[in-house]
């Protein structure tokens, strides 16, 4: 069985990238009714509701209750893990008692799913018909996920809805720097794929940056779709070389976003920036919103049902995805931390009325240990914007509890005075928690298999009581 399972995964790993290319072209040239599934249209209908951004409205509350009841019934009827542990008659679950019913389900986490992944797959599906993916990607610590074709289109519907508000449509030209553009170092970094110019994130270095900007200029993208760490390198190069790229908007994904990054990107590109909180488990979707002094995330009630669980790290986000039918994750502990504000108020910045994560502290594996032995969210460390004038990228590294290193890839103009300025600024803010605080110049920051930068790397061995391991981050 294990051999057969490996074979599916191997075949899928080979075929998936080719299918993705064909699929994006098909989406553009064929009528929607031919390639999109019933669920895609269902999501669009929900997102098209008159008050789709107002969770306090009756239609939205009804919609969430209907989706939650359906999700729970499906889990009890078709998924052995829940059937064996929850003594509820699936037929008894209706929208009016959906939330109350949800509370009778156990909390689940990555370890529980990894121990018995098969038990989470619905008996309505054969694995042959499902698409395999992992959360945690190259690091090997993620969970295995099985999704139907429909469920990918559900995700697509939510993302498209988000992008559309920035003027995107299926004919838009996109400069994409990300995992799907990765090429070997001996090949040039750019290639065209339908309406996208794909750039290999591993080629974002002095040798190739001018070439990449030339190609991008010729291509004339309307949008840039990338990871914040890749955009840092590109923006820093544009600023230093006095060049620019005019785009209508920037779509960030897959990594944490820091306020300083948003400010820097706004300075360089003068374009609106779309970013969100989400993961490949598809449990929650939070729309990023920035009022100029802090970042919050508004959770879409039609995507997932959110709960907060308090523990030693803070407020963990627990999500129940409302569209995962083949492998439902109910009350899934995301290992991401952020407190959800009580009550519903209309956001003065974007106008949404949704439950809001007031401060995303990030992933459990990004918590540093202070010299007092307490936890400190790595995402909350402030970065000075002037750093991008002297370094292309950076990373925080903890090799022993209580200490912290700021690793930077220096540009040619980094002087000892500037180094001093960078480190003193950090000491001023952080010396109450960390000692020593040091600056380390490195020729490059090691990227994950998917070309992402880990903002925080912790090399202090395993932390008892968690599945955290040395220096590993999310690569979803």
| Choices 23-31, 283-291, 445-453, 464-472 (CB under 5 A): range interacting with Zn ion | 283-291
| Cα separations in angstroms, 25 against 159, 193, 195 | 17, 8, 8
- The span from the CA of 371 to the CA of 251, in Å, is 37
Q: Which is nearer to Zn ion, 11 or 349 (CB)?
A: 349
**Measured from the CB of residue 62, what is the shortest distance to Zn ion in angstroms?**
23
CB of 149 to Zn ion, least distance (A): 33
Residues 295-334 that bind Zn ion (CB under 5 A): none
Phi, psi torsion values for 288, nearest 5 degrees? -70, 140
Nearest distance, CB of residue 299 and Zn ion, angstroms: 11
Q: Which of residues 214-273 bind Zn ion (CB under 5 A)?
A: none
Least separation in angstroms between CB 293 and Zn ion: 13
Contacts of 292 (CB under 8 A, 6+ apart): none
Select 353 or 466, whichever has its Cβ closest to Zn ion: 353
Beta strands 196-199; 190-193: pairing state: antiparallel
Of the candidate spans 127-135, 229-237, 286-294, 318-326, the one that interacts with Zn ion by CB under 5 A turns out to be 286-294
3-state secondary structure of 25: helix
| 364: Cβ contacts below 8 Å, ≥ 6 apart | 313, 316, 335, 336, 337, 466, 468
Q: Which helix (H) or strand (E) holds 66?
A: helix 58-78
Name the residue nearer to Zn ion (CB basis): 69 or 250. Answer: 250
Tell me whether residue 240 or residue 347 sits nearer to Zn ion (CB atom). Answer: 347
Q: Which is nearer to Zn ion, 240 or 350 (CB)?
A: 350
When the beta carbons of 230 and 357 are compared against Zn ion, the nearer one is 357
What is the rounded distance in angstroms from the CA atom of residue 372 to the CA atom of residue 289? Answer: 33
Q: And the tokens for 61?
A: 């509350």
CB of 57 to Zn ion, least distance (A): 17
Q: Could you give the 3-state DSSP secondary structure of residue 465?
A: coil
CB of 352 to Zn ion, least distance (A): 5
Position among 259, 340, 350, 425 found at the interface with Zn ion (CB under 5 A) = 350
Give 14's contacts (C-beta < 8 A, 6+ positions apart): none
* Least distance in angstroms from the C-beta of 350 to Zn ion: 3
CB of 319 to Zn ion, least distance (A): 20
In the bound state with Zn ion, the residue whose beta carbon lies nearer, of 45 and 342, is: 342
* CB atoms near residue 309 (< 10 Å): 14
State which of positions 132-151 bind Zn ion (CB under 5 A). none
**Smaller CB distance to Zn ion: residue 351 or 461?**
351
Q: Positive or negative CA dihedral for 40, 42, 43, 44?
A: positive
**Residue 298 Cβ vs Zn ion, minimum distance, rounded to whole Å:** 6
**Minimum Å distance from CB 360 to Zn ion?**
14
Closest approach, Cβ 348 to Zn ion, in A, equals: 8
Q: Which stretch binds Zn ion (CB under 5 A): 265-273, 341-349, 396-404, 411-419?
A: 341-349
DSSP letter, residue 312:
T
Cβ proximity to Zn ion: between 130 and 302 the closer is: 302
Strand partners, 359: 339
DSSP H helices in 209-277: 209-219, 228-241, 259-269
- Distance from C-alpha of 142 to C-alpha of 140, rounded to nearest angstrom: 6
> Could you say whether residue 440 binds Zn ion (CB under 5 A)?
no
347 interacts with Zn ion by CB under 5 A: yes
Q: Which is nearer to Zn ion, 222 or 296 (CB)?
A: 296
DSSP state of 284: -
Peptide bond into 436 cis (omega under 30): yes
Segment lying near Zn ion (by CB under 5 A), choices 182-190, 288-296, 338-346, 436-444: 288-296
Nearest Cα residue to 302 out of 85, 64, 102, 29: 64
Contact yes or no for 447/201 (Cβ under 8 A): yes
DSSP 457: E
Q: How far apart are CA 226 and CA 264, in angstroms?
A: 15
Please identify which residue in 349, 382, 440, 470 interacts with Zn ion, judged by CB under 5 A: 349
Report the site for Zn ion in 452-471 (rule: CB under 5 A).
Answer: none
Q: Which is nearer to Zn ion, 279 or 289 (CB)?
A: 289
Indicate the residue among 99 and 350 with the shorter CB distance to Zn ion.
350
Instruction: Choose the binding region for Zn ion from 21-29, 38-46, 342-350, 364-372 (rule: CB under 5 A).
Output: 342-350
Binding mask 358-377 for Zn ion (x = CB under 5 A): --------------------
Nearest to 458 by CA among 450, 446, 469: 469
In angstroms, what is the minimal distance from the CB of 347 to Zn ion?
3
Interface residue with Zn ion among 289, 318, 357, 439 (CB under 5 A) is: 289
Q: Work out whether 290 is an interface residue with Zn ion (CB under 5 A).
A: no
Judged by the rule CB under 5 A, the positions of this chain that interact with Zn ion are 289, 347, 349-350
């Amino acid at each position: 069985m294990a051999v057969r399972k490996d074979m599916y995964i191997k075949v899928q790993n080979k075929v998936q990238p080719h299918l993705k290319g064909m699929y994006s072209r098909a989406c553009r040239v064929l009528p929607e009714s031919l390639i999109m599934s019933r669920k895609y249209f269902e999501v669009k209908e929900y997102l098209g509701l008159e008050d789709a951004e107002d969770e306090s409205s009756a239609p939205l509350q009804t919609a969430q209750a209907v989706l939650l009841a359906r999700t729970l019934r499906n889990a009890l009827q078709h998924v052995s893990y829940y059937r064996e542990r929850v003594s509820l008659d699936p037929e008894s679950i209706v929208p009016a008692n959906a939330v109350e019913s949800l509370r009778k389900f156990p909390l689940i986490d990555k370890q529980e799913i990894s121990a018995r992944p098969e038990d989470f797959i619905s008996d309505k599906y054969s694995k042959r018909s499902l698409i395999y993916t992992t959360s945690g990607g190259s690091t090997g610590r993620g969970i295995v996920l099985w999704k139907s074709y429909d469920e990918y289109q559900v995700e697509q519907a939510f993302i498209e809805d988000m992008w559309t508000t920035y003027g995107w449509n299926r004919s838009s030209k996109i400069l994409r720097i990300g995992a799907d553009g990765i090429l070997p170092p001996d090949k040039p970094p750019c290639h065209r794929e339908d309406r996208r110019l794909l750039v290999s994130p591993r080629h974002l270095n002095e040798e190739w940056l001018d070439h990449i900007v030339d190609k991008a200029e010729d291509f004339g993208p309307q949008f840039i779709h990338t990871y914040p760490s890749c955009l840092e390198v590109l923006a820093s190069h544009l600023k230093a070389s006095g060049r620019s790229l005019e785009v209508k908007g920037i779509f960030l994904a897959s990594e944490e976003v820091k306020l300083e990054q948003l400010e820097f990107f706004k300075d360089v590109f003068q374009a609106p920036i779309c970013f969100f909180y989400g993961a490949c488990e598809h449990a929650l979707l939070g729309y990023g919103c920035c009022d100029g002094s802090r970042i919050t995330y508004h959770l879409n009630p039609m995507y997932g049902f959110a709960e907060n669980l308090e523990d030693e790290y803070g407020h963990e986000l627990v999500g129940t995805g409302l569209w995962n039918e083949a492998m439902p994750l109910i009350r899934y502990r995301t290992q991401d931390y952020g407190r959800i504000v009580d009550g519903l108020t209309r956001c003065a910045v974007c106008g949404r009325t949704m439950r809001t994560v007031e401060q995303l502290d990030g992933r459990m594996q990004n918590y540093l240990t202070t010299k007092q032995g307490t936890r400190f969210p790595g995402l909350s460390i402030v970065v000075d914007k002037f750093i991008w004038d002297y370094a292309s990228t950076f990373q925080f590294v903890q090799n022993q509890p209580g200490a912290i290193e700021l690793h930077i890839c220096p540009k040619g103009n980094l002087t000892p005075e500037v180094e001093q300025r960078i480190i003193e600024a950090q000491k001023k803010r952080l010396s109450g928690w960390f000692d020593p605080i040091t600056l380390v110049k490195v020729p490059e920051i090691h990227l994950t298999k998917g070309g992402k930068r880990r903002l925080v790397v912790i090399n202090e061995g395993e932390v008892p009581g968690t599945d955290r391991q040395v220096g590993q981050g999310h690569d979803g």
